Every structure is written in structure tokens, then in C-alpha cells.
Amino acid sequence: MKKNTFIFHATISLLILNYHLVCDSLSITTDQQALEAIKALITIDHSGILSRNWTSDTSFCTWSGISCDLHFQTQRVISLTLPNMGLFGKISPSIGNLTFLTFIDFTNNSFHGSIPSEIKNLHHLEKVYMGSNNLT
């Protein structure tokens, strides 16, 4: 009886552990993938910051312009601060996947096209600065 109880508890613990591991790796992948998709639509990066600094061998939380915060035991992107960098390109709809984003500053770059409607999915967003671009 006691042995069964132990096995039952051990199994439940393993299930819970697995659940956390799967959820954590999913959200990390999603934030990193979203940032990579954002980078991919920036076709000119005058200062070379993104090409030199946003590399997959370092954690995306250490990338220039990125701040993270702990949410449900996982580092999530909370701000995206890329002003005055001569960035040319479109804003990827993947930005809508950065669930915990509160702050965006893209001031004074050469972003063009429209602001993706996916930005509406960002329920924690408080401040957005996109002045001095060519957005419609």
C-alpha cells in the first residue's frame, strides 16, 4: 500500500516536472523565434548590431535592446528598445507572440509598411514609440 502511494506520488511529480519543462521550453522557443522573425524582416542593419549581437549562441535576454523578466519561472521578453539604429525593414507580425512585452521603442529608424495587427494580442503593452519611421 505504502509502496503504491509512493509510486503514485513519484509519477505525479514526474508529470508535473515534465509539464513545466515542456511549457518553459515552448515559451522560450516562442520568444526566441519571434525575435529571430523580427530580425529576419530587418533587411538593412547599418550598425550591424543585430547581425553581430543577436546570435543564437547567447541567450536572447542578453541581446542588445532586449530586457526580460521572470514569468512562471521562465525568462520572457518585456521590452524591445531599438531606437536610432538605422534599421530598415518591416515589422514582423511575430511581435504579437512576445506575450509579456510591455514596452516597444523603434523611434528613428526606417521601418516601413504597416504596424502588424498582431500587436493587439499584447495585453501587457503599455508604451509604444514608433515615431520617425515610414510606417503607414
Ligand X SMILES: *[C@@H]1O[C@H](CO)[C@@H](O)[C@H](O)[C@H]1NC(C)=O
Q: Which three cell numbers stand for residue 99?
A: 506575450
Cβ atoms 106, 82 nearer than 8 A: yes
Q: Whole-number minimum distance, CB 96 to ligand X, in Å?
A: 6
28, 30, 81, 119: which one contacts ligand X (CB under 6 A)? 30
The amino acid present at 63, given as its one-letter code, is W
Contact between 86 and ligand X per CB under 6 A: yes
Contacting ligand X within 31-60 (CB under 6 A):
34, 37, 52-53, 55, 58
In Å, how far are 13, 19, 20, 24 from 16, measured between CA atoms?
5, 5, 6, 12
Contact between 114 and ligand X per CB under 6 A: no
b/e sequence 115-131, b meaning 16+ C-beta within 10 Å = beebbeebeebeebebe
- Choice between 63 and 100, CB closer to ligand X: 63
Sign of dihedral through CA atoms 121, 126, 131, 133? negative
Q: Whole-number minimum distance, CB 2 to ligand X, in Å?
A: 43
* β-bridge mates for residue 75, sequence order: 70
Q: Which stretch binds ligand X (CB under 6 A): 1-9, 10-18, 69-77, 91-99?
A: 91-99
Q: Whole-number minimum distance, CB 68 to ligand X, in Å?
A: 13
Q: Whole-number minimum distance, CB 54 to ligand X, in Å?
A: 8
The footprint of ligand X (CB under 6 A) covers 30, 34, 37, 52-53, 55, 58, 62-64, 84-86, 93-94, 97, 108, 118
